[in-house]
Amino acid sequence: MIFSEIDTPAVLVDLDIAEANIDRFQAHCDAHDLKLRPHIKTHKLPMIAKRQIQAGAIGITCQKISEAEAMISEGGIDDVLITFNILGDQKLRRLRALAEKVRLSVVADNIETVAGLARTFADAKEPLSVLVECDTGSARCGVMTPEAAKNLALQIETQEGLNFGGLMTYPPVGQEETVQAWLTEAKNMIKASGLDVPVISNGGSPGMWQSQDVPVATEYRIGTYVYNDRSLQERGVCSWDDCALSVLVTVISVPADNRAVVDAGSKVLTSDLLGLDGHGHVLGRPDIKVAGLSEEHGVLTADAINLKVGDRLRIVPNHVCVVSNMLDEVQLIRGEQGLGPCHVPARGKVW
């Protein structure tokens, strides 16, 4: 019985593998003179963030203020970039409080966000560093042209309480040349208008091994790499042995020779497909398909399922960043050794 002391379903995190993942990509960034700023959305654990910083990361990335608040609560993390337009008086007050505790930077892609930040930091001791978010092809947030980036940079720099901090992009996958051209043009326009561009922040786990192909970037933000998952394995970014997070499940029913049911459904594995067929990879049983999820049931199919009620399996999810956000605790392991539960302080911190 695998990890018989751990009740199922449980999210297992193998620290040996996570640490190796951290060190491997840190070495890659060091070799290419790229600063690394891991995104904590994947693990939401201060313990792992500190390990990332210890390995050489310059600080962390958070998507939401509440994530940052949870991550710095234990100390040891003093440099945070929040890659989100922060709006509204409640959030701006919290942002100001956060800036008094850590070296903080944020992003903006619109003048309304800049105006709120400027109002909030007008009388601050230190100006807030604001990067311009650039849409280099992902069609999410971001100004849509290098010229718009330059204009917003100038508007930021003219605000008392704010400094223009540079450029940030969430890049489209596999389009390094386009991203390099876009950011270079924006950088040159901004420099021509008299401003320095101290930081150019690129990111993304799918393109991690091509991160050096956008040499205009000074730093790289990356989340999933710490655990890896089925989506990255399928893209050839990692192997199953590099997957640090798995979901430990128990077979609760074997209704037919070609079907079994386990005790984890979409409330653990989530419904994220990321373009894949099926809901995860059963370690050691590549013949099994995680064919369907109800909220608390996972339906496994195979030509011959060959499982018994009570058997335990480990499933590598399609997308780890959402799975580590489902439960209040993960179970830490090293190989076959269980180290006990670990609370996930930034779980569910979405505001």
Quick note: the x/- pattern for a copy of itself over 21-60, rule CB under 8 A, is --------------------x-------------------
Q: How many angstroms separate the Cα of 97 from the Cα of each of 86, 102, 179, 269?
A: 14, 9, 34, 35
**Cβ(163)–Cβ(199) below 8 Å:** no
Closer Cβ to a copy of itself, 56 or 341, answer by number? 341
Closer Cβ to a copy of itself, 57 or 344, answer by number? 344
Q: Where does this chain touch a copy of itself (CB under 8 A) — which range of 45-53, 184-192, 251-259, 335-343?
A: 251-259
**Cβ(9)–Cβ(317) below 8 Å:** no
Q: Where does this chain touch a copy of itself (CB under 8 A) — which range of 19-27, 199-207, 225-233, 267-275?
A: 267-275
Give the whole-angstrom CA distance, residue 46 versus residue 40. 8
Among residues 241, 199, 180, the alpha carbon closest in space to that of 61 is found at 199
Q: Where does this chain touch a copy of itself (CB under 8 A) — which range of 157-165, 185-193, 235-243, 262-270?
A: 262-270
CA dihedral (152, 158, 163, 166) in degrees, to 10, reads 30
Answer yes or no whether residue 261 interacts with a copy of itself by CB under 8 A.
yes
Answer yes or no whether residue 268 interacts with a copy of itself by CB under 8 A.
yes
Site for a copy of itself in 182-221 (CB under 8 A): none
Give the whole-angstrom CA distance, residue 329 versus residue 260. 26
**Cβ(306)–Cβ(256) below 8 Å:** no
Minimum gap (Å) between residue 348 Cβ and a copy of itself: 5
Of 136, 201, 231, 270, the residue at the interface with a copy of itself (CB under 8 A) is: 270
**Cβ(20)–Cβ(48) below 8 Å:** no
Residues 6+ apart with CB under 8 A from 78: 59, 72, 102, 103
Of 76, 174, 286, 310, the residue at the interface with a copy of itself (CB under 8 A) is: 310
Site for a copy of itself in 85-114 (CB under 8 A): 85, 87-88, 90-91, 109-110, 112-113
DSSP state of 253: E
Quick note: the x/- pattern for a copy of itself over 138-177, rule CB under 8 A, is -xxxxxx---------------------------------
Give the whole-angstrom CA distance, residue 81 versus residue 350. 16
Give the whole-angstrom CA distance, residue 305 versus residue 314. 15
Six-digit token string for 244: 């640090």
Q: Footprint of a copy of itself on this chain (CB under 8 A)?
A: 7-10, 41, 63-64, 84-85, 87-88, 90-91, 109-110, 112-113, 135, 139-144, 250, 252-256, 259, 261, 263-264, 266-268, 270-273, 292, 294-297, 299, 308-310, 321-322, 325-328, 348, 350-351
